[in-house]
Amino acid sequence: MTRTELVDETIDWFAANARPLPWRAPGTSPWAVLVSEFMLQQTQAARVIPRWEAFVERWPSPADLARAGDADVLRAWDRLGYPRRALWLRRCAVEIVEHHDGRVPATREDLLALPGIGPYTAAAVASFAFGVPEAVVDTNVRRVLARVEEGSEEPWAPNAARDLAAYRALVPAPPPDDATAVRRANRWNAAAMELGAIVCTARTPACERCPVAERCAWRRAGYPAGPTAGVPRRKQARYEGSDREMRGRILHELRATTTAVPLDALHDAVVRGGHDERFARALASLEADALVVVDDGAASLPS
**Digit-coded pLDDT (tens) for 32-57:** 999 999 999 989 999 999 999 999 99
For the ranges 104-113, 195-204, 227-236, which has the lowest average pLDDT? 227-236
User: Model-level pTM?
Assistant: 0.89
Q: Give the integer Cα–Cα distance in Å for 156 and 171.
A: 19
Query: Could you give the percent of the chain with pLDDT greater than 90?
Result: 87
From the CA atom positions of the chain, what is the Rg in Å?
A: 22
pLDDT of residue 237: 63
| Residue 98 reports pLDDT greater than 70 | yes
**What is the reported pLDDT for 276?**
82
pLDDT of 231 strictly over 60: no
Q: What is the pLDDT of residues 118-171, one digit of tens each?
A: 999 999 999 999 999 999 999 999 999 999 999 999 999 999 999 999 999 999
Measured between alpha carbons, how far is 263 from 295 in angstroms, rounded to an integer?
10
Compute how many other C-beta atoms are within 10 angstroms of the C-beta atom of residue 58: 13
- For residue 235, what pLDDT is reported? 58
pLDDT at position 241 is 81
**Which pLDDT does position 272 carry in this prediction?**
75
Residues taking part in catalysis:
37
Termini Cα distance of the chain:
57
What is the rounded distance in angstroms from the CA atom of residue 194 to the CA atom of residue 211?
12
Q: How much is the pLDDT for 275?
A: 74
Residue 239 CA to its chain's centroid (Å): 21
| Strand, coil or helix: 242 | coil
Question: Which of 60-69, 93-102, 274-283 bottoms out in mean pLDDT, i.e. has the lowest?
Answer: 274-283
Distant-in-sequence, close-in-space partners of 190: CB < 8 Å, separation ≥ 6: 14, 18, 24, 128
Share of the chain above pLDDT 70, in %: 96
What are the φ/ψ torsions at residue 39 (nearest 5 degrees)? -70, -30
